[in-house]
């Protein structure tokens, strides 16, 4: 529906902001961490996810692709709706949530409102399964076991120059080297790394 919204922050309240986009006010639901980084009267760009039901139309906003992708990943878990997904990202950063999943830290996931130990266990189990089904997911979310990239790696540098974040570049380059081997030409490694990032983006839509 909307890829992003850019406008002035007109007001803020719990888990939501009003964004004035050329005179049209959009109510956007956001995690606490996003709201805290926004100031009334300042311009902001929010990457959006539209949740449409017969009786409602809600817009959720994020300041980074990692946040939006984690939100949509959470929505794919059994029993998780937008409210709980937003609560997870309010209680934990993307990096903290990924770490909790890999360490099977039920207590950390249970800090989110509406998430008990049983649901936290399901979140961890299903998210680990999703990461297994889509290995490239780690490239976008910065999974801790995605591998390290040697200093001065030309593939990493090429991805950074193309606009990738440090985490995206490191993990996508590591994924490409794992798939093709260190002896593969840099151009081919970059192509595979970009393809892995594209698969992640597609998988989250």
- Cα–Cα distance measured from residue 168 to residue 100, given in angstroms and rounded to the nearest whole number: 19
Radius of gyration of the chain (CA): 18
Q: Does residue 14 register a pLDDT over 50?
A: yes
Q: How far apart are CA 124 and CA 150, in angstroms?
A: 30
CA 120 to each of CA 49, 76, 138, 183: distance values in angstroms, whole numbers, following the listed order = 23, 14, 20, 42
Per-residue pLDDT tens digits for 45-86: 999 999 988 778 999 999 988 899 889 989 988 889 999 999
What sign results for the dihedral spanned by CA atoms 15, 76, 93, 179? negative
- Per-residue pLDDT tens digits for 108-130: 999 999 899 999 999 998 887 77
CATH topology (fold) of 65-133: DNA polymerase; domain 1 (1.10.150)
Q: What is the residue-averaged pLDDT of the chain? A: 84
Query: What's the CATH fold of domain 4-62?
Result: OB fold (Dihydrolipoamide Acetyltransferase, E2P) (2.40.50)
pLDDT tens column, 158-181:
887 777 776 677 888 888 888 888
pLDDT at 145: 45
Angstrom distances, CA of residue 75 to CA of 33, 81, 84, 85, 201: 19, 6, 9, 6, 15
Residue 119 has, within 13 A of its CA and on its CB side, a CA count of 17
């Amino acid at each position: 529906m909307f890829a992003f919204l850019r406008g002035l922050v007109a007001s803020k309240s719990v888990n939501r902001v009003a964004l004035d986009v050329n005179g049209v006010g959009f109510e956007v639901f956001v995690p606490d961490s996003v709201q805290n980084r926004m100031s009334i009267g300042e311009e902001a760009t929010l990457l959006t996810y539209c949740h449409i039901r017969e009786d409602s139309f809600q817009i959720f906003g994020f300041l980074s692709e990692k946040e939006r992708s984690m939100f949509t990943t959470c929505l794919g878990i059994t029993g998780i709706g937008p409210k709980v997904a937003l609560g997870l990202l309010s209680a934990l950063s993307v990096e903290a949530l990924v770490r909790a999943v890999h360490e099977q830290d039920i207590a950390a996931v249970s800090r989110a409102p509406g998430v008990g130990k049983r649901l936290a266990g399901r979140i961890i189990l299903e998210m680990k399964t999703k990461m297994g089904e889509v290995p490239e997911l780690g490239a976008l979310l910065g999974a801790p076991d995605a591998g390290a990239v040697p200093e001065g790696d030309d593939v990493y540098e090429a991805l950074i120059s193309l606009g990738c974040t440090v985490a995206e570049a490191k993990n996508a380059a590591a994924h490409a080297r794992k798939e093709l081997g260190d002896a593969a030409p840099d151009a081919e490694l970059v192509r595979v790394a970009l393809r892995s990032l594209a698969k992640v983006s597609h998988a989250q839509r």
